[in-house]
């Protein structure tokens, strides 16, 4: 398959500590090429914050409420976010000449995404018992003007989803400079072959607005 829309229940907490908050996340993928993520923080019908993250046509963006971040650091971070999910679908990378694999040991490999002007490197660890991906790790920018921090995505509880696609039941995301995980998502559907054109169009429209308005500048305060 070439597209997927990943759905499930999620929760997050700021700085890897404090109370967990519910968050809805729907992740629209043209696998390994473009993605857009709809985010909603709320309880029942109450919505506190909405967000839209993505990587479209080689550019990343992160919008939380009325604040928008764009720039080279967001490009790198968004590319890694996209691939941490796309890597779960072999069709996303099985015949790509812009992805370079190199074995590190019996159960891990380095993967380099050469498509950007500055290649981006990650490490993929495999479960010795099942051979399935167990961890995606990379040095990822945490924000504009900030250095990279090791970023880990751990996959566990692999099982078929409601639409028959085998995925990890749980994905746990951690920044290693924080005391604990900051995001957990229980994946329930992959929606293989779904139409993602409308979501990608929203991402392209947002990037077009940025390009057309020179007064919009990325933040440097986080």
**Is-contact 29 190, C-beta < 8 A?**
no
Q: Which CATH class is domain 3-212?
A: mainly beta
- SS3 state of residue 92: helix
- Residue 62 backbone dihedrals phi, psi, to 5 degrees: -145, 110
Would you state the pLDDT for residue 6?
A: 96
Q: What is the pLDDT of residues 172-183, one digit of tens each?
A: 999 999 999 999
Q: What is the pLDDT of residues 115-141, one digit of tens each?
A: 888 899 999 999 999 999 999 999 999
Would you state the pLDDT for residue 7?
A: 94
Contacts of 156 (CB under 8 A, 6+ apart): 134, 168, 169, 170, 172
What are the residue ranges spanned by the domains of the chain? Answer: 3-212
**Is-contact 49 65, C-beta < 8 A?**
yes
**Is-contact 109 103, C-beta < 8 A?**
yes
Angle, CA of 58, 68 and 23, to the nearest 5°: 95
Would you state the pLDDT for residue 215?
A: 62
Q: What share of the chain is helix, strand, coil (3-state, %, to 5)?
A: 15, 50, 35
Would you state the pLDDT for residue 132?
A: 95
Q: Which of 209, 213, 199 is nearest to 27 (CA)?
A: 199
Tens digit of pLDDT at every position of the chain (222 positions): 899 999 999 999 989 999 999 999 999 999 999 999 999 987 778 788 899 999 999 999 999 888 889 999 999 999 999 999 999 999 898 888 999 999 999 999 999 999 888 899 999 999 999 999 999 999 999 989 989 999 999 999 999 988 989 999 999 999 999 999 999 999 999 999 999 999 999 999 999 988 887 565 544 333
> How far from chain centre, in Å, is Cα 43?
23
Instruction: Give the separation between CA 188 and CA 168, rounded to whole angstroms.
Output: 9
Q: For the chain, what is the radius of gyration of the CA atoms?
A: 17
């Amino acid at each position: 398959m070439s597209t997927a829309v990943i759905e499930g229940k999620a929760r997050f907490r700021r700085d890897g500590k404090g109370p967990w908050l519910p968050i809805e996340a729907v992740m629209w993928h043209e696998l390994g090429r473009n993605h857009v993520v709809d985010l909603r923080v709320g309880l029942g019908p109450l919505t506190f914050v909405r967000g839209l993250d993505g990587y479209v046509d080689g550019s990343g963006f992160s919008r939380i409420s009325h604040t928008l971040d764009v720039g080279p650091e967001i490009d790198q971070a968004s590319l890694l976010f996209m691939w941490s999910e796309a890597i779960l679908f072999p069709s996303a990378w099985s015949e790509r000449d812009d992805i370079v694999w190199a074995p590190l040991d019996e159960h891990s490999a380095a993967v380099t995404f050469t498509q950007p002007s500055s290649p981006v490197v990650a490490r993929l660890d495999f479960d010795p018992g099942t051979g399935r991906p167990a961890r995606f790790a990379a040095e990822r920018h945490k924000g504009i003007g900030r250095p990279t921090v090791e970023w880990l995505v751990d996959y566990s509880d692999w099982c078929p989803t409601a639409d028959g696609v085998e995925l990890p039941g749980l994905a746990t995301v951690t920044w290693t400079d924080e005391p604990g995980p900051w995001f957990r998502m229980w994946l329930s559907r992959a929606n293989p072959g779904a139409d993602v054109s409308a979501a990608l169009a929203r991402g392209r429209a947002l990037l077009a607005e940025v390009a057309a308005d020179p007064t919009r500048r990325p933040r440097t305060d986080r």
